[in-house]
């Protein structure tokens, strides 16, 4: 299964042959689970956090049998809440976690190599994104925080149909603030810098390019709707557990609908 290499266009003038995609993916398998989340969640009220975590694990246990190892792909503007939610979901479901942008970066040789490909061999870079997604989608028991390349071509969207895709819809102004004030690092393929207004404009351009792809997801978890449903006064009150639990409930709803359709299609 791990014999596939990144496509030949990736090996060109000025570029060293990359390692196999499979070796990068296998390496990620040894990086479980989501230890970084503990620090991010440490400031939350301990009782509330315990209750949410328990609810999350119970919901994960409830749907695991019917999920049958189906992969989850989280799409949307890159943000801390999207990547942290993916890690938390992997932890709750006892799945493996991958960030597709990080796998591409490692397969190509690092951030500088990615920027070089973006400038000199964009097709090769896009091919590498597809190759990584192809390998990830062929596996089971994964939660993938999918980069924007996953929603920018029909082939990649089709690959994500091997699993369940969820759009984590986070307001752009919140992400811009995290980039400018909290130094949130975007993937090397997304070079964004400047003042808050400049960063917001660049994020808006990315969003407009990807919005139609995001909208093909099987379900959407919108931060503002989660905050409204839970009675929060601000969007900042929404936790990673809130998003992860909402995602599992949507997955459960999708599986229930699929099961009903399958039963309706059976001959009497």
DSSP string, 115-166: HHHHHH-HHHHHHHHHHHHHHHHTSSSEEEE--GGGGSSHHHHHHHTTSEEE
Q: Higher model confidence: residue 149 or residue 16?
A: 149
Residue 219 pairs in a beta bridge with: 166
pLDDT for res 53: 82
Residue 74 pairs in a beta bridge with: 145, 166
Among 40-44, 110-114, 115-119, 240-244, the least confident range: 40-44
- Burial class from Cβ neighbours inside 10 Å (0-12, 13-18, 19+) for residue 184 reads middle
Rounded distance between C-alpha atoms, residue 215 and residue 218, angstroms: 8
Q: Is 24 helix (H, G, I), strand (E, B) or coil?
A: helix
Q: How confident is the model at residue 188 (pLDDT cuts 50, 70, 90)?
A: confident
Q: What is the rounded average pLDDT for all residues in the chain?
A: 83
Residue 92 has pLDDT above 80, yes or no: yes
Rounded distance between C-alpha atoms, residue 89 and residue 22, angstroms: 23
Q: How confident is the model at residue 131 (pLDDT cuts 50, 70, 90)?
A: very high
Which residue, 212, 255, 253, 21, is CA-closest to 128? Answer: 21
């Amino acid at each position: 299964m791990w014999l596939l290499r990144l496509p030949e266009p990736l090996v060109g003038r000025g570029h060293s042959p990359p390692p196999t995609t499979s070796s990068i993916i296998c390496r990620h398998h040894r990086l479980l689970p989501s230890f970084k989340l503990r620090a991010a969640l440490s400031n939350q009220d301990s009782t509330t956090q315990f209750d949410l975590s328990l609810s999350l694990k119970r919901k994960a246990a409830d749907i695991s049998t019917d999920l049958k190892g189906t992969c989850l792909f989280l799409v949307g503007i890159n943000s801390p809440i999207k990547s942290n939610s993916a890690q938390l979901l992997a932890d709750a479901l006892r799945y493996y976690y991958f960030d597709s942008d990080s796998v591409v970066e490692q397969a190509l040789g690092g951030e500088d190599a990615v920027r070089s490909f973006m400038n000199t061999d964009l097709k090769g870079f896009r091919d590498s994104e597809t190759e990584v997604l192809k390998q990830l989608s062929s596996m089971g028991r994964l939660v993938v925080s999918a980069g924007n390349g996953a929603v920018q071509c029909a082939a990649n969207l089709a690959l994500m149909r091997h699993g369940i895709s969820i759009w984590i819809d986070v307001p752009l102004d919140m992400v811009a603030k995290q980039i400018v004030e909290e130094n949130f690092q975007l993937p090397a393929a997304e070079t964004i810098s400047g003042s808050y207004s400049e960063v917001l404009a660049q994020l808006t351009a990315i969003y407009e390019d990807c919005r139609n792809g995001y909208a093909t997801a099987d379900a959407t978890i919108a931060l503002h709707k989660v905050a409204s449903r839970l009675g929060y006064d601000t969007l900042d009150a929404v936790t990673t557990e809130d998003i992860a639990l909402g995602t599992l409930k949507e997955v459960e709803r999708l599986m229930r609908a699929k099961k009903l359709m399958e039963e309706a299609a059976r001959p009497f």
